[in-house]
Amino acid sequence: MAQKVAVLGAGSWGTALAFLALQGKNDVSLWARDSELLLQLDKERQNEKYLPGISLENIRICPDLEPILADSDWIVCAVPCLGIPELATQVKSLRKAGSIVVSGTKGLHSQLGLRPAEMWHKFGGLVPSEYVALSGPNLAREIVCGVPTSTVVASLDIESAKQAQKLFSSSLFRVYTNVDLTGVELGGALKNVVAIAAGVCDGLGFGDNAKAALMTRHWREMTRLAIAFGAKETTLFGLSGIGDLFATCASPHSRNHSLGVKLGSGESLSQAQREVMQVVEGIHTARAALKLASEKRVELPVTTELVELFDGKPVKAVIHSLMNREGRSEVEE
């Protein structure tokens, strides 16, 4: 039976999620804050700015939240972390009773240090059965071009995760379930930080050895932090951890990797951000991760140096600091 799906956020990822929801022959609406973007989407039936060449036929373009939230069974969120508190507050008073929020947001709020699930609970009043996170190696361009991939949907309520699994599953998009919501969200968020660091390596022209070493050690950092907040290590070995990390650290379609390449090539953070043109969640997540690490007394040397690079530390000095740290065992006791 067709369900009504409201997708909030019309960047590349939001457009891809609307495309995915449509594959199940659902009634799909797409909303964004940018009124000019919505006019362009409605007129040209494609997202020329963020995902050109992909038809948006049969997707309703909606400038107003109230009418689409009033009768939607599913609310799919694809806005940046910084926009969630305001959006969740709006959704709280407008959404249909019993509707489920599926969050495609991968990041941490830089000031609040909260995951998307925590913000939707705090500002949107959602209970566990009303929230699902979707995460994995899911680059928007490949998805809408029909390249096969997998993802994971996580919820504290397994039945809600199973419903989301049915909503998004198709012959080209395989969906797994997980109840480790913390692990899935932290994996999806923290791998963005790794992707920036990997991009810096590529921008410096360091080659495969350096990039592989950096990715491995930075993955240990993200795993260490996630476990400190109750995540399962097996989740970080899954689609939202290593799977998403591989995709974003290697792909030219990854905005986090692209920003890292520009930083490694000598551009300033502000210049690199202007050229990428979309929100790079890894910047905000890196800063939030350091705050969380301080709470749990977890050491994040690569993340620390990356934030210092954001703040103007020369890239050669960053590399020197990392390579000249005191020797230690690879195995953590």
332 three-state secondary structure? coil
Looking up tokens 């969200």, which residue turns up?
A: 185
Nearest to 117 by CA among 77, 71, 146, 148: 77
CA 190 vs CA 5, 205, 247, 263, 281: distances in Å: 28, 24, 13, 19, 9
Bridge partner residues of 27 (DSSP):
4
Of the pLDDT bands very low, low, confident and very high (cuts 50, 70, 90), residue 306 is very high
Give the separation between CA 292 and CA 224, rounded to whole angstroms. 12
Residue pair 235/181 in contact by the 8 Å Cβ criterion: no
Q: What angle do CA 58, 166, 54 make, to 5 degrees?
A: 30
So what CATH class is 4-179? alpha beta
| Mean pLDDT on 231-255 | 95
Q: Identify the pLDDT of residue 332.
A: 75
Dist CA 198 CA 133 (whole Å): 25
| φ and ψ of 6, to 5 deg | -105, 120
Mean pLDDT rounded to a whole number for the chain: 95
Which whole number is the average pLDDT over 94-121?
A: 97
Angle of the 181-204 helix axis to the 255-264 helix axis, nearest 10: 30
List pLDDT tens digits, range 136-195. Answer: 999 999 999 999 999 999 999 999 999 999 999 999 999 999 999 999 999 999 999 999
Q: How far apart are CA 298 and CA 130, in angstroms?
A: 32
59-61 and 27-31: which strand pairing? parallel
Overall average pLDDT of the 74-82 stretch? 97
By the 8 A CB rule, do 6 and 60 touch? no
Count Cβ neighbours within 10 Å for each residue of 106-120 and write b for 16 or more, e otherwise: bbbbbebbbbbbbbb
Q: Distance between CA atoms of 86 and 8, rounded to whole angstroms?
A: 13
Query: Which residues on neighbouring strands pair with residue 279, listed in sequence order?
Result: none
Per CATH, which fold does 182-323 belong to? N-(1-d-carboxylethyl)-l-norvaline Dehydrogenase; domain 2 (1.10.1040)
Radius of gyration of the chain (CA): 19
- Residue that the structure tokens 């998307």 belong to: 116
313 to each of 3, 199, 320, how far by Cα in Å?
51, 17, 11
3 state DSSP class of 125: coil
Confidence of residue 331 (pLDDT cuts 50, 70, 90): confident
Mapping DSSP to helix (H, G, I), strand (E, B) and coil, where does residue 306 land?
A: helix
List the beta bridge partners of residue 61. Answer: 30
Task: Check pLDDT > 70 for residue 333.
Answer: no
- Three-class SS state of 64: coil
> Residue 117 in contact with residue 153, Cβ under 8 Å?
no
Residue 240 DSSP label:
I
Which residues in the chain are classed under CATH 3.40.50.720?
4-179
Rounded Cα distance, 224 and 245, in Å: 15
Question: Annotated active-site positions, please?
Answer: 191
Chain region(s) in the chain for CATH 1.10.1040.10: 182-323
pLDDT-based confidence at 19, cuts 50/70/90?
Answer: very high
The whole-model pTM stands at: 0.95
Helices (H), 34-115: 35-44, 65-70, 84-94
Per-residue model confidence (pLDDT) at position 273: 96
State how beta strands 74-77 and 4-8 pair. parallel
> Residues near 29 by Cβ (< 8 Å), separated by ≥ 6?
4, 5, 6, 7, 59, 60, 61, 62, 68, 72
How many distinct helices (H) and strands (E) make up the chain?
Answer: 16, 10
265-304 tens-digit pLDDT: 999 999 999 999 889 999 999 999 999 999 999 999 999 9
